[in-house]
């Protein structure tokens, strides 16, 4: 995110620019500007929310009288998407992608949606536009050369998910990113006032959705949202000594309030009193209440989330930038990270054929040997980072990683397993890379292995629902942090080189990719080259056939499952 300090003027421009963006459909000459307009606007929404969440939460209660229903509705949807993503711990860049989807919901029918909100009758053409608005929006985005990806997927599913997210029947919904935008849409529609339609408070809406949905991810996200609103209660109404007041923010021991007179701010006060906050829509055009009051210096600054990720990554970098000649050097590098000792004890057990338990850190390292100790430490630290990365498909990603771990264990169960670390560690690094650089590409589905590009082998990206990794970024990633690891270099080559030029370790890695996709994917078809490679690699590890391996894998890992 660029350097940006929100101000009342920026907050006001969120409404102005959202209103203008919703008008772009009606001027075809401006269609090429739609994507940069939406991405810049989404960035501003995220920046304002992450720095001033109380102000944004307050706007969920306000109805800005100077703008129509569709603008207020869209602003609320964008704020709620930001709130969901912040509550779930997602990164700003990922949040911006979802805000663009929220901005696009009524992109092609803002005039028609305003007429509906006023209870006016639409013509057949207008009704068709509202009903098929997402199809028209996707066509509009295509004409503007907007990259195909998550945005189009969300829009194509949004109406279906909106209807299916609640109901008597538990309809499976697999796209968690679409679920987040759907929840924001449902809440925004319920709390944004319309003529002749009951308006619900945000608390009523969250409770109703939580009780009405069968989707676990939706329920967890709604719980996270409720905590987020409690932490930043801006916009709640309270009664202070017989006078109406608006909560501006929570303080360390109470609340900061704006005293109201006919829904206009007439003063500010700090209090330690406890209140029962009320939520209701407030139609207003008061600029102080809408914009300027939220930048008062008395309002506490939003606390940024603290993380140990940078320190852990520094240790991973140090481990990958040198050859270690003694255990003492490795111990010194990872000494500050006492929390990984237990993880190392668990990780080292597979190297011990006598069932001996590792006790000290040195004992863990000596059990695996100097050649693999550095890789093992890197992997455990990377696993720590992966477990801390928040993503809508985080559970699915971790289960697929566990699946690869068990697959490699089974693969070497008939031979000596000294290669285990050399083969698992590169996959750990690749999954961390995918979560960081391809967060919006990740899907639950597994892409069939038949979809190859040119003469390259299958990519690990198939396991996470997309075509290939960004080769330039992935190459830089491996070169910067795993330069001295032949196995990491082999995984890089399996992603970038022609399949006929791969060395033995590269072929092993491709075999593991194929087995992972084969045992999880919907399509069991393999190309002639893929089948030949698998047969050869399996025989080297004493497996008679792929069917024999799969039978043993199921028996060895009955708990393998994908969320």
What DSSP line would sit under 367-402, residue for residue? Answer: HH-HHHHHHHHHHHHHHHHHHH---TTHHHHHHHHH
pLDDT at position 495:
93
Spatial contact of 34 and 141, defined as CB atoms under 8 Å apart: yes
Of 4-13, 32-41, 188-197, 549-558, the least confident: 549-558
* Residue 307 pLDDT grade (very low, low, confident, very high; cuts 50, 70, 90): low
Task: Show the beta-strand stretches assigned E in 143-297.
Answer: 237-240, 243-250, 255-260, 265-271, 282-284
* Residue 560 pLDDT grade (very low, low, confident, very high; cuts 50, 70, 90): very low
Exposure on the CB side of residue 231, measured as CA atoms within 13 A = 14
* Residue 310 pLDDT grade (very low, low, confident, very high; cuts 50, 70, 90): confident
Rank 142-146, 304-308, 346-350 by mean pLDDT and report only the highest. 142-146
* Residue 464 pLDDT grade (very low, low, confident, very high; cuts 50, 70, 90): very high
pLDDT at position 413:
84
What is the rounded average pLDDT of the residues 7-27?
93
* Residue 282 pLDDT grade (very low, low, confident, very high; cuts 50, 70, 90): very high
**Which is it for strands 243-250 and 237-240: parallel, antiparallel or unpaired?**
antiparallel
For residue range 128-165, what is the model confidence (pLDDT) as tens digits? Answer: 999 999 999 999 988 888 888 889 999 999 999 999 99
pLDDT at position 509:
94
Looking at the predicted structure, is the pLDDT value of residue 484 above 90?
no
Exposure on the CB side of residue 422, measured as CA atoms within 13 A = 19
For residue range 85-105, what is the model confidence (pLDDT) as tens digits? Answer: 999 999 999 999 999 999 999
What is the rounded average pLDDT of the residues 166-173?
88
User: Which one has a higher pLDDT value, 315 or 478?
Assistant: 478
Looking at the predicted structure, is the pLDDT value of residue 454 above 80?
no
- How many helices, marked H, and strands, marked E, lie in the chain? 25, 6
DSSP string for residues in 213-253: ---HHHHHHHHHHHHHHHHS-TT-EEEETTEEEEEEEE-SS
pLDDT at position 391:
94
pLDDT at position 1:
46
* CA gap 427, 309 in Å, rounded: 19
Looking at the predicted structure, is the pLDDT value of residue 430 above 80?
yes
Topology at the third CATH level for domain 8-227: Hypothetical protein af1432 (1.10.3210)
Task: Give the DSSP letter of residue 460.
Answer: G
What residues does 269 pair with on adjacent strands? 257
Looking at the predicted structure, is the pLDDT value of residue 239 above 80?
yes
% pLDDT > 90, the chain = 58
Spatial contact of 185 and 209, defined as CB atoms under 8 Å apart: no
* CA gap 208, 201 in Å, rounded: 11
* CA gap 86, 97 in Å, rounded: 13
* CA gap 41, 43 in Å, rounded: 5
pLDDT at position 168:
85
pLDDT at position 561:
45
* Residue 451 pLDDT grade (very low, low, confident, very high; cuts 50, 70, 90): low
Residue 346: how many other CB atoms lie within 10 Å: 11
What is the rounded average pLDDT of the residues 471-483?
92
Residue 136: how many other CB atoms lie within 10 Å: 17
Looking at the predicted structure, is the pLDDT value of residue 369 above 80?
no
Q: Where are the domains of the chain?
A: 8-227, 303-388, 394-562
Q: Of the candidates 105, 96, 175, which has an alpha carbon nearest to the alpha carbon of residue 141?
A: 105
Looking at the predicted structure, is the pLDDT value of residue 514 above 60?
yes
* Residue 306 pLDDT grade (very low, low, confident, very high; cuts 50, 70, 90): low
**Which is it for strands 255-260 and 243-250: parallel, antiparallel or unpaired?**
antiparallel
For residue range 485-497, what is the model confidence (pLDDT) as tens digits? Answer: 889 999 999 999 9
For residue range 50-79, what is the model confidence (pLDDT) as tens digits? Answer: 999 999 999 999 999 999 999 999 999 999
Looking at the predicted structure, is the pLDDT value of residue 277 above 90?
no
Looking at the predicted structure, is the pLDDT value of residue 245 above 50?
yes
Mean pLDDT over each residue of the chain, to the nearest integer: 87
What is the rounded average pLDDT of the residues 544-562?
75
* Residue 305 pLDDT grade (very low, low, confident, very high; cuts 50, 70, 90): low
Distances (CA, A) of 315 to 246, 322, 340: 48, 12, 12
Of 6-10, 330-334, 422-426, 465-469, the least confident: 330-334
What is the rounded average pLDDT of the residues 270-291?
90
């Amino acid at each position: 995110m660029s350097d940006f300090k929100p101000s009342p003027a920026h907050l006001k421009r969120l409404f102005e620019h959202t209103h203008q963006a919703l008008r772009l459909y009606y001027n075809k000459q401006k269609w090429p500007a739609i994507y940069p307009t939406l991405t810049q606007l989404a960035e501003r929404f995220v920046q304002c929310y992450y720095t001033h969440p109380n102000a944004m939460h307050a706007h969920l209660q306000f109805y800005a009288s100077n703008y129509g229903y569709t603008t207020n509705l869209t602003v609320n949807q964008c704020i709620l998407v930001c709130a969901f993503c912040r509550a779930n711990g997602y990164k700003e860049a990922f949040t911006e992608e979802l805000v663009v989807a929220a901005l696009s919901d009524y992109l092609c029918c803002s005039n028609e949606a305003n007429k509906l909100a006023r209870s006016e009758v639409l013509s057949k053409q207008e009704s068709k536009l509202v009903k098929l608005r997402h199809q028209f929006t996707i066509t509009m985005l295509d004409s503007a050369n907007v990259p195909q990806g998550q945005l189009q997927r969300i829009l194509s599913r949004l109406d279906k998910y909106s209807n299916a997210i609640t109901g008597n029947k538990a309809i499976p919904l697999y796209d968690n990113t679409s679920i987040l935008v759907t929840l924001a849409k449902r809440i925004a529609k319920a709390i944004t006032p319309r003529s002749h339609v009951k308006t619900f408070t945000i608390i009523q809406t969250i409770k109703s959705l939580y009780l009405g949905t069968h989707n676990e991810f939706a329920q967890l996200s709604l719980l996270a949202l409720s905590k987020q609103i409690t932490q930043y209660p801006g916009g709640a109404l309270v009664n202070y000594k017989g006078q109406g007041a608006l909560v501006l923010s929570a303080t360390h021991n109470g609340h900061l309030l704006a005293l109201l007179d006919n829904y206009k701010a007439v003063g500010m006060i700090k209090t330690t009193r406890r209140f029962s906050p009320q939520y209701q829509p407030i139609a207003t055009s008061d600029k102080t209440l809408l914009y300027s009051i939220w930048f008062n210096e008395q309002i506490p600054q939003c606390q940024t989330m603290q993380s140990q990720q940078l320190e852990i990554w520094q240790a991973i970098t140090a481990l990958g930038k040198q050859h270690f000649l003694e255990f003492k050097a490795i111990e010194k590098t990872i000494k500050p990270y006492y929390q990984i000792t237990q993880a190392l004890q668990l990780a080292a057990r597979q190297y011990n054929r006598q069932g001996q338990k590792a006790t000290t850190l040195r004992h863990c390292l000596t059990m695996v040997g100097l050649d693999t100790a550095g890789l093992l430490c890197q992997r455990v630290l990377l696993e720590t980072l992966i477990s801390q990365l928040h993503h809508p498909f985080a559970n699915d990603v971790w289960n697929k990683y566990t699946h690869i771990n068990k697959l490699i264990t089974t693969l070497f169960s008939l031979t000596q397993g000294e290669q285990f670390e050399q083969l698992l560690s590169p996959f750990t690094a690749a999954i961390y890379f995918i979560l960081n650089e391809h967060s919006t590409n990740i899907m639950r589905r597994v892409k069939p292995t038949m979809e190859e590009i040119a003469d390259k082998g299958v990519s690990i990206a198939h396991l996470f629902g997309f075509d290939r990794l960004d080769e330039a970024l992935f190459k830089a990633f491996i070169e910067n942090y795993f330069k001295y690891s032949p196995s990491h270099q082999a995984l890089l080559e399996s992603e970038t080189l022609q399949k006929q030029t791969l060395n033995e370790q590269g072929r092993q890695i491709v075999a593991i990719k194929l087995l992972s996709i084969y045992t999880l994917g919907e399509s069991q078809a393999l190309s002639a080259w893929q089948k030949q490679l698998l047969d050869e690699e399996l025989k080297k590890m004493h497996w008679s056939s792929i069917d024999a391996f799969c039978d043993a894998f199921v028996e060895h890992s009955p708990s393998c499952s994908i969320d």
